Amino acid sequence: WAMDLCGTGWLKDNRIWHTLAGWKDIYASYLEQASETGHFDVIFVVDEAAESIVGQPSFNGISGSLLSSFRFSAYRAGISFAFAEISDVASGLFPDGKLYIFLNPYRICSDTAKKLREQLADKSAVWMYGFGMTAPDDVSALTGMEILPCAPGTTQLIPNAYAADLGFAVPALFQNVTHRYASASGTPLGTYADGTAGAFTQNGRNIFWGGTSLSAENIRALAHLCGVHVYTTEEDAFFTDGKFAVYAAMEAGTKTVLLPDGTNLTCECSIGETVYWDLCSKQIIS
């Protein structure tokens, strides 16, 4: 089946299909223990309809940072995660997440906002960048914060000592900034270069992050803030649903994965090597 790779060429290379065939036994092993839908700690929430008001190519500008390049950080954060469409989250199809990161919350209607409040009642949520056409009353109800428009531009977010202790990178460059935090209560995480609040949290549950990107390091810091387990701090590619894990080494060396029960799984990897773990039996699948 000849597929196109985002306009960069046809995948008519036999090595691709030979590689896929080699995964047959790994996939069969996964199916043996995949008796139910996977569970993910962090849900990256995308609103496909919201992109209609951005007006930029998907690989540039706002969308490029929030939706395309963001995946690079997600796979290197060492967490259990999934991407979900906002309507599915509002409908209750992803009820098991601990942390929901809303990548483009700038076109949330009041009906969706009401459903999200119900789904997020005992969860943590991060609100990225700004809110665009989302009504201010819905913004306040969703976040518990007053978040106001500010003069757009490029600036730095300078984390404070509290944020640095959590592991946030210092500093982070924010492009296309449009909103700032304006509430009187809560805990600041950092300020823009002009001193206004660009990152804030309310009780570690609702977090406003005024930029269009999050590094793997900052995703891990958010996980620590919200009580989400981090499996590895190595910035290799990692993915798990809690039962099965895939680890692709970006550098050679001893790799360690920490399970929620405190067990350490280790293996030696060469550059580019991929390891598959059955986390139930705690064995490598070859």
Task: Indicate if the alpha-carbon torsion angle 198, 202, 208, 209 is positive or negative.
Answer: positive
Pairing outcome for strands 206-209 and 124-128: parallel
Residues 103/44, Cβ–Cβ less than 8 Å: yes
What is the amino acid identity at position 237?
Answer: A
Percent of the chain with pLDDT strictly greater than 70 = 88
Query: Is residue 271 pLDDT above 90, yes or no?
Result: yes
Give me the sheet containing 283-285, strands edge to edge. Answer: 237-240, 244-248, 274-278, 283-285
Which tens digit of pLDDT belongs to each residue from 70-127?
889 999 999 999 999 999 999 999 999 999 999 999 899 999 999 999 999 999 999 9
Query: Is residue 34 pLDDT above 70, yes or no?
Result: no
Which tens digit of pLDDT belongs to each residue from 119-156?
999 999 999 988 989 999 999 999 988 888 887 777 88
Residues contacting 233, CB < 8 A, separation 6+: 78, 220
**Two tokens at 168?**
């946030």
Q: Smallest Cα–Cα separation from 32: which of 259, 286, 280?
A: 280
Give the range among 4-8, 24-28, 113-117, 123-127 with minimum mean pLDDT. Answer: 4-8
In this prediction, residue 1 carries a pLDDT of 43
Q: What is the mean pLDDT of residues 184-210?
A: 85
Of the pLDDT bands very low, low, confident and very high (cuts 50, 70, 90), residue 55 is: low
Cα dist from 165 to 77, 153, 162, whole Å = 18, 28, 5
As to burial, measured by CB atoms within 10 angstroms (0-12 exposed, 13-18 middle, 19+ buried), residue 40 is buried
State CA 244 to chain mean position distance: 19
Average pLDDT taken over every residue of the chain: 86
Residues 76/237, Cβ–Cβ less than 8 Å: yes
